[in-house]
Amino acid sequence: MASAFLYSSILRVCQQEYHSNDYAEFPEIILISYPFTRGDKKKIRAEISKCFSKLKKTGASLFCIASHSFHGFLPLLPQPGFVNLVKESLKEAKRLKISKALILSSETTIRLRLYEQPGIDCVYPPIADQLRVNRYIREVAGGKINDSQSKELKKMVSRLRKTLHFDGVLIACTELPLIHAQFPIKLNSLPIVDTMQVLSRVLVEKAFGS
């Protein structure tokens, strides 16, 4: 689901921001959907390295991972051409002058503290709300996306804003951006970073040479 959404997001960026409408006006895209191991950090890291090797053999010069949580298991050696979803999303948060962000993500991303970087304070939904987020993630992964999910997320963010006092939201999850794309979660002037959209835009910029 994440890979398919990222692929379609890249195409939309090309169409909407670069006015691409012919085969030659889109970048070559190579997609690997891999059945990663769960719960074994060493194996996951080796599997990610295996995927990078496969992509390099095809001649790819830019690389990314559509999943947030797997950024906690990146190969130890730097990967030239790798576009880091987390780092690019944090750059966008900084550009929007977000100093304290509500992180909407999976429990794995929270546990790995991927977004806890210098320059931004991160807050998270309390347990009951996180369980609701978990349910929406599973629903989207199972192909269920509807307006009620967006409305409930909007209510939750609005309520939490009164107690957690954040000045921005990072949709730091693989599945939640699919809800936001179809049923935007808008909250007046509160900036919301759609991390998958950020990744798509950066990839296209780099592919087209800005």
Which segments within the chain are labelled E, that is strand? Answer: 100-104, 121-123, 168-171, 192-194
pLDDT in tens, 96-134: 999 999 999 999 999 999 999 999 999 999 999 999 999
Listed in sequence order, the residues at least 6 apart from 75 whose beta carbon sits closer than 8 Å to its beta carbon are: 45, 48, 49, 52
Say yes or no: 42 and 138 in one domain: no
Say yes or no: 102 and 177 in one domain: yes
Reading the block at residue 105, the tokens are 């993500």
Number of domains in the chain: 2
Say yes or no: 97 and 191 in one domain: yes
Reading the block at residue 23, the tokens are 């085969």
Contact 183, 146 (CB under 8 A): yes
Say yes or no: 92 and 191 in one domain: yes
Say yes or no: 165 and 67 in one domain: no
Say yes or no: 38 and 80 in one domain: yes
Say yes or no: 91 and 182 in one domain: yes
Say yes or no: 91 and 169 in one domain: yes
CA-closest candidate to residue 114, choices 83, 89, 140 = 89
Say yes or no: 40 and 71 in one domain: yes
Q: Is the pLDDT of residue 210 over 80?
A: no
pLDDT in tens, 147-177: 999 999 999 999 999 999 999 999 999 899 9
What average pLDDT does the chain have?
94
Burial of 61 (0-12, 13-18, 19+ CB in 10 A): exposed
Q: Is the pLDDT of residue 188 over 90?
A: no
- CATH number of the domain that residue 101 is part of: 3.40.50.1860
Range of the domain at 76: 2-85+199-207
Q: What is the mean pLDDT of residues 75-91?
A: 92
